[in-house]
Amino acid sequence: MTLLIKICGLTTPEALDAAIGAGADLAGFVVFPPSPRHVDLALGRALTAQAKGRLQRVALTVDADDALLADIVAALDPDMLQLHGRETPERVAAVRARFGRPVVKALAIAEAADLARVPAYAAVADRILFDARPPKGATRPGGLGQAFDWTLLQGLDPGLPYMLSGGLDPANVGEALRVTGAPAVDVSSGVERAPGEKDPGRIVDFVRAARAAAAPAGPGRAALPLP
C-alpha cells in the first residue's frame, strides 16, 4: 500500500496548489482561531472547493461543539474530520455518527503509557494520528513542530491505519518512517518558512523525502485505502 502524505495547515491557494502538485494525498485545514493556520469558514470553503477531487480534504478542529462542526461540514464539505483536542471516545463516536464523515482522532504521545488509550479510540475512529504531547501552557495542542520518541510506535498494531505527525520535516521524515514503518505521515510546521506560512519548496522536498523512504509493507501499513 502506498504511503499517504498529508500536508496540514494550508491557508492559501498557492500553498494548496503546491501540495497538490507535489503529490500529497490529503490536505488539512485548521479551523481553530488560536492557530496561526486558522481558516475562517469563507476561506475554508474556497480552499476545499479548490481541492475537491484532487486530494482528500481534512477539516481539523479542537474540542468543537456540534454547532461549529455543523458549520464546518456545511462550508468545507470535508472528506474527513480531524479531532485534535481532548475528545473522548464517546465524543468521537458521536461526531462520526452525527456528521457521517470519517474521523481522524489525534492522540498526544510522550511516553509508552500514552498508548494505553489507543484501543478505546481505535474502536470508534477511522484513523488514529499520533502527535507529540504539547508542553504545559501551549496555546494549541498541535502544530508546534515538536516530535516525540518514534521508537514508542515500534511494533505497534493499533488495529487500524495510523498517521504519524509531530515535528516532521524534509530532513527527518525518512528516519521517522524507517523507525516506525508508519503508513501515513502528516506535517505542518516542517514545511513552513514562518508559523502559518507554507514554503512550496519545502512541501516538494517533504513529499519527495517521504516517498523515497517509504518502507515495504509492515503491520501498520496494510489495508490503508482512503475512505
Q: Which residue ranges make up the site for ligand LGQLAAA5 (CB under 6 A)?
A: 8-9, 28, 30, 32, 35, 37, 60, 62, 84, 129, 131, 140-146, 165-168, 186-190
Nearer residue to ligand LGQLAAA5 within complex by CB, 124 or 144: 144
Q: Choose between 140 and 221: whose C-beta lies nearer to ligand LGQLAAA5.
A: 140
Least Å distance between CB 222 and ligand LGQLAAA5? Answer: 22
Please report where in the chains the cell 475562517 appears, as a residue: 40
Burial class (CB in 10 A: 0-12, 13-18, 19+), 35: buried
Cβ distance to ligand LGQLAAA5 smaller for residue 60 or 122: 60
* Cβ atoms of 162 and 183 closer than 8 Å: yes
Q: Nearest to ligand LGQLAAA5 by Cβ — which residue? A: 143
Distance of closest approach, residue 40 Cβ to ligand LGQLAAA5, in angstroms: 14
| Smaller CB separation from ligand LGQLAAA5, 44 or 142 | 142
Query: Nearest distance from residue 60's CB to ligand LGQLAAA5, in Å?
Result: 6
Measured from the CB atom, the residue of 161 and 167 that comes closer to ligand LGQLAAA5 is: 167
CB of 43 to ligand LGQLAAA5, least distance (A): 15
Compute the least distance from the CB of residue 56 to ligand LGQLAAA5, in Å. Answer: 14
Distance in Å, CB of 163 to ligand LGQLAAA5, minimum: 8
Nearer to ligand LGQLAAA5, 140 or 198 (CB): 140
SS (H, E, C) the chain: CCCEEEECCCCCHHHHHHHHHHCCCEEEEECCCCCCCECCHHHHHHHHHHHCCCCEEEEEECCCCHHHHHHHHHHHCCCEEEECCCCCHHHHHHHHHHHCCCEEEEEEECCHHHHHHHHHHHCCCCEEEEEECCCCCCCCCCCCCCCCCHHHHCCCCCCCCEEECCCCCCCCHHHHHHHHCCCEEEECHHHEEECCEECHHHHHHHHHHHHHHCCCCCHHHCCCCCC
Cα distance between residue 108 and residue 147, in whole Å? 11
Nearer to ligand LGQLAAA5 by Cβ, of 124 and 184: the residue is 184
CB of 104 to ligand LGQLAAA5, least distance (A): 9
